[in-house]
Structure 1
Amino acid sequence: MRAIERRSGSSNRPEPRGLEALVVSPRTFTCTHDNLRRAGNQARRAESGSCSGDRDGAKWRNPRLRGVVMTVIGTPSRRVHLVQAALRVMERDGLSGTTVRSVAAEAGVSSSTVRRSFDGLDDLLSDVVELVVAGEGDAALWALMTAETDTVAIIRDALRAYLALVQQHPGSEQTMLEATLLGLRRDDLAELPRTQYRRYREVMRELLSIVARRAGIHWELDTDELARFALALTDGVTLAWLVDRDDAAAERALDLAAESIARYARAPLHA
């Protein structure tokens, strides 16, 4: 593979707080990576009880993209710009068709800039995976910004928001599959699929914790075990949709997934 060669050197309740203060319709939201990043961070602030925005010009670190500092909201660093460009190339041409030159051309920079920015293919792919996983998690998190309190409905809306993102960017999911399989085939990329699925589980655990708070329940299973189960369900639905592109079937499957996950919800002991 010639991609990157390793270098040698609305509610009636009074004063809504948290997510209740940010009721939206996820279907009206434009699923771009920048929008999802902002929405996800807004939702996390809301969930913690703070709905204030970032100060203009403030520097903050996006924990979902390793090693990247955003200097102004909506203004990506050079590394983020290159990762976004690489993802577009991978979506269009696949991993086998991604080269230093094609990423540089997509980003509007020199090939040497790309080589200086990444230590190798594993470094670039790690950031691409991080970008996609963050977008998927933020899409689902954005859907949790709702006044809904029914456990099945909350999970269903989050899963459908994830599906909407997959439908808008199928190439991203195909890239994730390619990255997983490539990592399983190549010793130098062996850590990539492990990191990829570790991040998937982290995001799923975060979502399950928020669902529990929103619905006022606790999970009968350990959240890591439940996250693995939920991830297996979404993986299967995603792969099936990529093959047959049957939107209705995918939505029905995710509705069943939501019901399956919700079966492990229990009322609080003090209720």
Structure 2
Amino acid sequence: MARVSADERRQLLVEAAIRVMLRDGVAQATTRAIVAEADMQLGMFHYCFRSKGELLEQVVEAITAHSLERVEEIGRGGGTVRDTLRSTMRAYWDHVLAHPDEHQLTYELTQYALRRPGLEDVARRQYEFYLQTLTRLLDEAGAAFGQEFSVPTSVIARYLITVLDGLTLNWLILRDDGDPEAVLDQAADHVSGLVSTV
């Protein structure tokens, strides 16, 4: 059997953890269940991760990367600031529609982490990553089109996170396909109204 590096084992454990959590829920994702899913021995978990919290951080990073990967790519496209905002939000929304179970899991992970002493940073880092990513994309869009926003991009990013987060949770509960597009259009219109030519 080929030798597997520690990084590869970590990745396999993260993927196994995601499968267990999607299937059984976060609370049932014990280290034993995760290593069994990965077809590894329990000692390998402790070799790869200092704690379950470290694993959870990597799970959140992996799921977040899934949903933001296409957003990053779209965010560097052409058009206007509004077009860029709308296509970026559409890329995120397409991921929600294609992988609702992953998005539901992020909410479960967030609440789980907030309720466990010592794991609060897992949830905090998740939302800090969203904020940093969207702030950077807004800055890049403004620079690409020679425009600037009338309010700080970090404020706009937080606003968009609130809209997308609320819309996602609302859709996960109601599964109503009628309104999300209109909400995304409204948010893109609102934010694009905050730009001016430099």
TM-score normalised by length of structure 1: 0.66
SS of 1:180's equivalent in the other structure is helix
- Please state how far the C-alpha of 1:210 moved relative to its aligned partner: 2.4
Please identify, of 76-85 and 232-241, the stretch whose mean Cα deviation from structure 2 is larger: 76-85
Alignment of 1:237 onto 2:167 = yes
Aligned partner (choices 176, 189, 195) of residue 246 of structure 1: 176
1:154 equivalent in structure 2: 84
| CA deviation after TM superposition for structure 1 residue 145, in Å | 4.5
Q: Which deviates more, 155-164 or 94-103?
A: 94-103
Question: 5 Å matches for 1:81-92?
Answer: 81-92=12-23
| 1:106-255 matched pairs, under 5 angstroms | 106-146=37-77, 148-255=78-185
- Closer, same or farther in 2 for the Cα pair 1:215/1:84, shift >3 Å? farther
Deviates more, 1:119-128 or 1:108-117: 108-117
Q: Are 1:100 and 1:115, in contact at CA under 8 Å, matched by a contact in 2? A: no
The 1:142–1:215 alpha-carbon spacing in structure 2 relative to 1, beyond 3 Å, is same
Q: Which amino acid aligns with 1:141?
A: E
User: How far apart are the structure 2 equivalents of 1:109 and 1:124?
Assistant: 15
Instruction: State the identity %.
Output: 32
* Contact 2:76/2:141 (8 A) holds in 1: no
Distance 1:91 1:211 in 2: 35
Q: Which residue type is aligned with residue 166 of structure 1? A: V
What CA distance in whole angstroms lies between the structure 2 residues aligned with 1:120 and 1:78?
15
Q: In structure 1, list runs of 5 or more residues that go unmatched.
A: 1-70
SS in 2 for 1:246: coil
Asked if 1 retains the 8 angstrom alpha-carbon contact of 2:31 and 2:52, the reply is no
Query: In the TM superposition, what is the alpha-carbon distance from 1:201 to its structure 2 partner?
Result: 0.5
The residue identity in structure 1 corresponding to 2:134 is M
Aligned to 1:60: none
**Superposed displacement of residue 159, structure 1:** 0.5
- What stretches of structure 2 of length at least 5 have no aligned partner? none
Contact 1:104 1:110 in 2 (8 A): yes
Write the distance in 2 (CA, Å) between the matches of 1:137 and 1:155. 14
Cα distance, 1:135 vs. partner? 2.4
Deviations 1:120-156 (A, max 9, x none): 221111111111222222221122353x322212111
Residue pair 2:113, 2:119 contacting (<8 A) in 1 also = yes
- Matched letter for residue 216 of structure 1: G
Secondary structure of the residue that 1:218 maps to in structure 2? Answer: strand
Q: How many Å separate the matches in 1 of 2:12 and 2:178?
A: 35
Cα distance in 1 between the residues matched to 2:42 and 2:70: 32
Aligned residues: CA RMSD? 1.9
Cα distance in 2 between the residues matched to 1:248 and 1:153: 21
